[in-house]
Amino acid sequence: MQTVANNFVEQLNKRPEISNAFSTFNVNFPQFLLHIDTDKAAQEGVAAENAMSTLQTLIGSEYATNFIRFGQMYKVMVQASPEYRAQPNDLMKLYIKNDRNEMIPFSSFLTIEKIYGSEQITRYNMYTSAMINGQPAKGFSSGQTIAAIKEVAAQTLPKGFGYDWAGASRDQANAGNQAIYIFVICLLFVYLLLAAQYESFLMPLAVILSLPIGVFGALFLLFVMGLENNIYAQIAMIMLIGILGKNAILIIEYAALKHRQGKSPFDAAVEAAVLRLRPILMTSFAFIAGLLPLMFASGAGKIGNNTIGAAASGGMIFGTIFGVIVIPGLYFIFATMTENKNHTGKKEELALTETL
C-alpha cells in the first residue's frame, strides 16, 4: 500500500489542478510483533486471551477503582513498575498465573520480532486505507480538482485498490453538477414567466440570450483576479439572471409598447435603447459600487467575499455595457420573426375564405 500511495501522490502533484498533495501514511515506524505459541501456552495452562489481557495491564495500564483522600478523588491504575517495562526484552521476564495457580514466564510461549509498519491502522468503510490530502491549485476550482483526481485514480490505481472521498469533498463529489441543473431550471422558470407575460414563445428568447454575456463577464473577472469558480461564484451567476434579466425587460417592454403603437421593430428597438440607457446605467453602476467592498475585502472569509463580489461585478459590467447593444438587436430579430409569422397566418386565413 505504501508504494501505491506514494505513486498516486506523485501523479497527483504532476497535475496543474492540484497543489501540495501528500499522504501521512508511512510504514517505516519501528514496531515489535508478539508471537504467542498457542500450543505451548495451552500446555502451560495459559489461554491466549488471558495472556494478552495480562500484557495490556502490565505494559499498558488498566483502570481499577477510585479512592477519596483529603477530600480529593483519585483513580487507581494497575501497571507494572517502570523498571520492569523499560526494554522490549523485559517482557520475557514477566510472569502470568495459569489455571493451576502457577506463575509461568512469558518467555515459555512468547517470542518478540522487530518489524516496521504504520504508526496507526486507518480504516474507511471497513477497508484498510491511506488518507491523502491536497488542495486546488491557484486558478482552479474544487470541481476541476475532483475531476483531475478521478482521472489520475483511473490511470494509476492497480486492480484491488479504490478511492473514496471524505469531508466536504465527499459532499461535493456526491452533489455532482447540481449547480448546472439549478442554473438551467432558473433560466427555464424565467423563460416560462416571460412567455406568459408576452404571450409569445419567441420574445422571451431576447431576454434569455442576453444573459450569457453576464456569465462570460463573471468568469473573465474571476480569471483576471485569480479566483476559482466555486459555490460563491455560482450563487453570483444565479443572481445575475435576475438583475440582467431586469435590464433586458426594461428595454424589451418599452420596445414592445412602441411597436404596438405602430412603430417598426427597428425604430421601437432604437428608441427603447436610447430612453432606457440612463436608468439602466444608474441602477447597474450603483449595484457595482455596492459590490466593491466585497471585491477588495480582507480578513477572515475574504476569499468568499472576493469571489462573489468579483463574479457579480464582472457580470454586471459586461452585461450592462454590451447588453444595451445586444438586447435591442435581439428584440429586433425576434419581433421581426413574430411579425412575419403573424402576417403569414393572416394570409393563410384569407386564402380559406370566399365571397358569397
Kindly report, residue by residue over 219-248, the tens digit of the pLDDT: 899 888 888 777 788 888 888 888 888 888
Contacts of 205 (CB under 8 A, 6+ apart): 191, 330, 334
Please, which pLDDT band fits residue 72 given cuts at 50, 70 and 90?
very high
Mean pLDDT of the chain: 84
Kindly report, residue by residue over 341-350, the tens digit of the pLDDT: 765 655 444 4
**Which one-letter amino acid corresponds to residue 18?**
I
- Half-sphere exposure (CA, 13 Å, Cβ side) for 323? 35
Residue 215 has pLDDT above 80, yes or no: yes
Contacts of 301 (CB under 8 A, 6+ apart): none
Residue 29 has pLDDT above 50, yes or no: yes
| Backbone φ and ψ of 270, nearest 5° | -65, -45
CATH code: domain 177-351 is 1.20.1640.10
Positive or negative: CA dihedral 255, 260, 264, 265: positive
pLDDT value of residue 354: 47
Across the range 122-148, mean pLDDT stands at: 81
The fold for domain 28-117 equals 3.30.2090
User: Cell 432604437 sits at which residue?
Assistant: 270
Please, which pLDDT band fits residue 355 given cuts at 50, 70 and 90?
very low
CA distance 267 to 339: 14
pLDDT value of residue 349: 46
Delimit the domains of the chain by residue range: 1-24+135-175, 28-117, 177-351
Q: For 29-45, give one letter per residue: b (16+ CB within 10 A) or e.
A: eeeeeeebeeeebeebe
User: Cell 483513580 sits at which residue?
Assistant: 75
pLDDT value of residue 350: 45
User: In Å, what is the CA distance from 162 to each residue of 5, 12, 309?
Assistant: 11, 15, 39
